[in-house]
Structure 1
């Protein structure tokens, strides 16, 4: 099945990024929130990744069915489903990478901020369990609002004495995926060849695609760059509105999550020069967390890369996003330290 997937454009893309069938180390990946809208397609995509030897699927309900379904796929990894808090420790033990899409999705008219109290509480509990059962795992945070949930996770790990800033990632890959797709459409270039760094955060104006650094180069007007930036920032809302109350960006988010998890696995396995954008602890700006390109290695983040040359429009965008991103980070830290 994976061979037929690999023949497609997406499959070729994934293979280029290190989905290989060579002999690789055993790696356990846990997906927390595996029965949800993002979790189910993410579980499928991780089952297709030959770098995964064990796939642990966890949720508060319905996980055994998802695990049974996915386990029938004839790829390398062994799948186990875990349900309820009493089985969370078992799901996490021995994990190399933990992916967290758990939480409630955004509904029409709901801002990312509206999600905060529910998802922040879920993330706090899950991170306390990670600190206890697999403190050395790379943690890929998908649960929104990422600008706050990553700082919450950091505080939980600090309290537990397990915090390693190299191993905590906010998954902003969907912003990159969207920026690439939208840019390719406007520039009329093959999307597989496109690269666009996206920096800042993972909500609204905190998302800053650096189209001045996009490759291949295209001679786009200021108006086109402005429109592309806005569309990338509003990509989530575009999907929420198109689904008309029936959900949010689940399939594209699962794809982005799978791409980032694969990059983490490649880094762990010693593949050189693995670079992705991610929201991490950072000194790139004066803010404690910031999304930029990071080099991944055997311990997670090997190097947080700088922003590079920015256009005047991007410099303005960077200054505009800082107050909102700062407030979201502080909100997360405050929530984590409330109790």
Structure 2
């Protein structure tokens, strides 16, 4: 254990005298580049009573010390090494898996999967051994394959609940609505563009036909928009001279965490996530998910006004998605 600050309260009173429940959140891989960004954003979240940072990097103590310099009511604990993983996870309501490299141009999904699979395998096995499964959000790439792999590992233990396992895809929705708003001179925060399918350039499907507010776009404009949304990781990486997107991805993780914690507190919430779902011709699918304290309730479905072009790119996405899911499970079968 690296840093500890005592915080015994589990309840706080809001300005309207209602009781607000607080939660423990654990960031696995918290010393990585994106892990530090996620931890920073979560440090002062009012719904968090304890923030736990775990990593195997030797720089972890320094990261936790830096975070301790930020004034916050929540407790802060840091853990270093695989041997402390059980301690780090214990008592957590929400666990975010953010360690490992993110996808960058020139790196195949298979190579990215190989780089991150040991991290996800180790953490998933430890989560499976907990007496009660917390909400788990996978940010590590490639989500399309790592989430099914994590699920198969956790199924070996008695506490697994598929409703509590999420691939965090909020960044896809953030990008789509921002690009849509910018394109049409609208406030992005007032725009909504559903993004479904998976979480990769070949499986991300923004639905302009369901966008709000509605606007007129030519077929050429729509195809250009879809291509740009799908290529955003590449665009950012090129601008960052080969480094992956981190700040916007971390913000997406923050929004996911807020939604998950709201659901755990008993409020109806929605998150953008990749979850176990067999209603779309594949065993996993991403979209706008309705969540309560038990986890996933249902995913928003769009059956009206889907265009022929959107149906076409969705079919292509589903074909690739099935392969991505199989790839994640195949690695376990080969061992």
Q: Is the 8 Å Cα contact of residues 281 and 318 (structure 2) preserved in structure 1?
A: no
1:95 counterpart = 2:92 = yes
| Cα distance per residue 1:174-227 (max 9 Å; x no partner) | 110110111111111101101111100001120001121111112122211111
Q: Is the 8 Å Cα contact of residues 167 and 273 (structure 2) preserved in structure 1?
A: yes
How many residue pairs align between the two structures? 318
| Cα distance per residue 1:244-296 (max 9 Å; x no partner) | 13x20111100001101110000111122x22221101022120001122101
* In structure 1, distance between residues paired with 2:283 and 2:246: 29
Task: Decide whether aligned partners of structure 1 residues 330 and 135 sit closer, same or farther in structure 2, where only a CA change above 3 A counts.
Answer: farther
Shift, 1:229, TM fit: 0.7
Which of residues 240, 244, 256 is equivalent to 1:243? Answer: 240
* In structure 1, distance between residues paired with 2:112 and 2:35: 18
Q: Is the 8 Å Cα contact of residues 95 and 134 (structure 1) preserved in structure 2?
A: no
Shift, 1:240, TM fit: 1.3
Which of residues 327, 330, 338 is equivalent to 2:326? Answer: 330
Task: Decide whether aligned partners of structure 1 residues 121 and 322 sit closer, same or farther in structure 2, where only a CA change above 3 A counts.
Answer: same
Give 1:15's aligned residue.
none
Q: Is the 8 Å Cα contact of residues 284 and 306 (structure 1) preserved in structure 2?
A: no
* In structure 2, distance between residues paired with 1:205 and 1:235: 12
Which of residues 311, 314, 324 is equivalent to 2:310? Answer: 314
Secondary structure in 1 matching 2:65: helix
Task: Decide whether aligned partners of structure 1 residues 161 and 338 sit closer, same or farther in structure 2, where only a CA change above 3 A counts.
Answer: farther
1:140 counterpart = 2:132 = no
Q: Is the 8 Å Cα contact of residues 264 and 292 (structure 2) preserved in structure 1?
A: yes
* In structure 2, distance between residues paired with 1:162 and 1:306: 29
Give 1:69's aligned residue.
66
1:220 counterpart = 2:224 = no
- 1:173-184 matches, cutoff 5 A: 173-184=170-181
Task: Decide whether aligned partners of structure 1 residues 173 and 323 sit closer, same or farther in structure 2, where only a CA change above 3 A counts.
Answer: same
* In structure 2, distance between residues paired with 1:50 and 1:276: 19
Shift, 1:108, TM fit: 4.2
| Cα distance per residue 1:39-70 (max 9 Å; x no partner) | 00100111121111110001102222111111
| Cα distance per residue 1:295-331 (max 9 Å; x no partner) | 0111111222323321211111111111111000001
Identify which range, 213-222 or 320-329, moves more after superposition.
213-222
1:291 counterpart = 2:286 = yes
Q: Is the 8 Å Cα contact of residues 260 and 271 (structure 2) preserved in structure 1?
A: no
Q: Is the 8 Å Cα contact of residues 284 and 325 (structure 2) preserved in structure 1?
A: yes
Q: Which runs of 4+ in 1 moved over 6 A?
A: none
Greater helix share, structure number:
1
Shift, 1:134, TM fit: 5.9
TM-score after normalising by structure 1 = 0.90
| Cα distance per residue 1:117-157 (max 9 Å; x no partner) | 12112111110011123641001001111000000011001
Structure 2's unaligned 5+ residue stretches are 1-13
1:301 counterpart = 2:296 = yes
Identify which range, 132-141 or 287-296, moves more after superposition.
132-141
